[in-house]
Amino acid sequence: ALFRAITVWFNNTACPSDFYGPTRLEASKVQAFTFLVRDQRLEANTREVIFGGETMRFWDLRCPWLEPLRGPNGGVATEINAVNFVSLRSWLATFHFVLGFFIFVRHLWHAGRAYAVAAGFEKGIDCDFEPVLSMTPLN
C-alpha cells in the first residue's frame, strides 16, 4: 500500500490525469513554465501547445462563478496549483499511505508477538481465568 501511494502520487500512466487529477509535477507552475518554454522554442503559438499539452489541461479553466474569489494581487484563490488543489489523486494517495502505515504497524505488532512467543516470554492466556467461562448461558 505504501508503494501504491507513491505510484498514485507521481505516476500518471497507471492513474491517468483525466480520471485522478494532475500529478504533483503537473500541478506545479514550474512544470507548466517548462512546457511553455519548450513549446516556444519549437516556435509554437502562445495559445497552441503542441507538446505536453495533455499535462496543462487544468490550467485553462475559466468559470464565471469564480470571479469573486480573485485576490487583491491578481491571483485566483481557487487556482489549481500544487498547494491548494485537492484532487481524487490526493485522496487516493493519502488513503493508501494511511492504509500502508497501519499495515506496517500491524506487521510490527504481530512480529513482536511471534518473537515473544518464540523466546518464551508470552505463555498465552490461561482459559481458567476467562470470565466468560463462569457466566451462565443466555438461554
Q: Could you tell me the pLDDT band of residue 48, with boundaries at 50, 70 and 90?
A: low
% the chain with pLDDT above 70: 55
Residue 111 has pLDDT above 80, yes or no: yes
Q: pTM to 2 decimals?
A: 0.50
| Per-residue pLDDT at 104 | 96
Question: Domain map of the chain by residue range?
Answer: 2-134
| Per-residue pLDDT at 119 | 84
| Per-residue pLDDT at 110 | 92
Q: Could you tell me the pLDDT band of residue 31, with boundaries at 50, 70 and 90?
A: low
Residue that the C-alpha cell 518464540 belongs to? 118
23-61: b or e for each residue (b if 16 or more CB lie within 10 Å)? beebbeeebbeebbeebeeeeeeeeebeeeeebbebbee
- How do residues 118-132 score in pLDDT, each as one tens digit? 887 777 666 667 777
Question: Chain-wide mean pLDDT for the chain?
Answer: 72
